[in-house]
Amino acid sequence: MSRISGFLSGIKVVDLSRHLPGPLASILLADMGAEIIKVEPPQGEEMRTIGPVGRNSTSVYFDAVNAGKTGVRLDLKNPQQRETLLSLLQDADILFESFRPGVLDKLGLSISFLRQTFPRLVICSLNGYGEHSPLKKDVGHDLNYLAMNGVLAGTGTVDETVAPWPPLADCAASLFGMSTVLAALLERERSGQGCHVEVALADSVMPLMTFSLAELGLTGAGIPRAQALLNGGAARYRTYKTRDGFHVALGAVEPKFWQAFCVAADRPDWIARMDDPLPQNELQQEVAAFFAGLTLAECQQRFGEVDCCFNQVLELQDAVETPHMRTRKLVVKGSDGQYQALYPAYVDGEPPLRRVPFKEI
C-alpha cells in the first residue's frame, strides 16, 4: 500500500460543499486516506448536470471530484434528516460547507451550534466573500473573483483580458482550505479543540499575486498586462508559432538559459538584448520570425537537448501520454475511460493509490 494513501486513515470528513472548491479539497484528503461522506440535497447537487454526461448518466465533472467518496442525500430542512446529519458528525473530524453566510443558521446548523455540539470538529466554510465582508450576500464565480482582485488586469494580450483556465480562485480556495484544516487537526492534538476555518474565494487569489503586490508597493501600480517579464512582455518567456502551425514555449528567464538558446539559434547578437526595456516588442518580433521559419521537428532537433527551457505546447490528450506522465503515475486512466489526477506527491518513492468509484448509500 502507498504510504501517502494511509496518512489520514481514521479521519472522517463530512462534505456538504458543492461544485469545485470543497469537493476538490475533500477528494485530495481522500487520496491521503480520509473517509469522505458527501451529503447532497434530495435531488442531487447541481454539478451532476453541469458539463458533459458520462457513462453513468451523470456529469463527468461530478464524477471527477467525487470518486473515492460515499454519498448520501439529505433534506436538511427536514428535522429528521437533519438529525441524520448530526449523527454523521458525531465521530467526524472535518466538515466542509459552501453555503452563503447565514444559510446554515436558517437550517438550524449555525457555526456556534456546531462548535458547541461537536467541540473537536474542524469546520471549513468555503464561500464567495466571507462573513465579514460588505459583499457577503453577493453572488459570484471564479471570473468575478479574478476581476475584482486585479488578476485579469494582468492576464491576456495588450488589447484584451483573458480568463485563465483552470479556475484559479476555485482551485486556490480549495488548496488553502485543505491545508488549513490539516493544520487545524494538528493543533487539535495539542488543544483538544476544533475550530471554524473560513476561506473566501475572493480572498484566495491574493497570495498568488505576491509578485504583483510587490510591484504595487514599489511603483504604485500592478504588473501591466502583456508587458512584464512573466506575462508576455519579454522575448525569452512566451510562446511562439512554428512554420507548420504548432506552438512552442520558451522559458529562458535566467541568463544562462537565454544564452544557451541564442547560441543554439545561431543568434549570438540576441544575448546582450536579454534586458532590453519591457515590453520587448522588437525582439519578440525577431524571435517570432525565427520560429516561424522552422517546423516543430526542426525546433525539437535544434533545442530539444539544449538547457534553454524549451518545449512544445501540448494538447491535453497528448500531455497525459508523455513519458513523464506515464512514469510518474499521478494522472491515471480508469477502466471506465476517465482520468484521475491524484494528489501530486510521492512519499517514500510511491504515489497515492487510484480512487475507487463514487458510491451512494
Active site residues: 170
Pairing of strands 359-360, 339-341: unpaired
DSSP-assigned beta bridge partners for residue 14 = 37, 95
Query: All 3 cell numbers of residue 211?
Result: 509578485
User: Quick check: 184 and 96 in contact, CB under 8 A?
Assistant: no
- CA-to-CA dists, residue 265 to 32, 145, 258, 301, 334, angstroms: 46, 41, 10, 11, 42
Helix (H, G, I), strand (E, B) or coil at 333: strand
Name the DSSP class of 98. Answer: -
Pairing of strands 339-341, 331-333: antiparallel
d(CA 91, CA 12): 7
d(CA 314, CA 151): 25
Residue the block writes with cell 466538515: 95
- The residue type at 237: Y
b vs e for 153-182, b when ≥16 Cβ sit within 10 Å of the residue's Cβ? bbbbeeeebeeeeebbbbbbbbebbbebbb
d(CA 92, CA 224): 47
Query: All 3 cell numbers of residue 197?
Result: 476555518
Name the DSSP class of 77. Answer: T
Pairing of strands 35-40, 12-15: parallel
Query: Pick from 80, 92, 115: which is nearest to 15 by CA?
Result: 92
Region of 33 on the Ramachandran plot (φ > 0 left; ψ -120 to 50 alpha; else beta): left
Name the DSSP class of 350. Answer: B
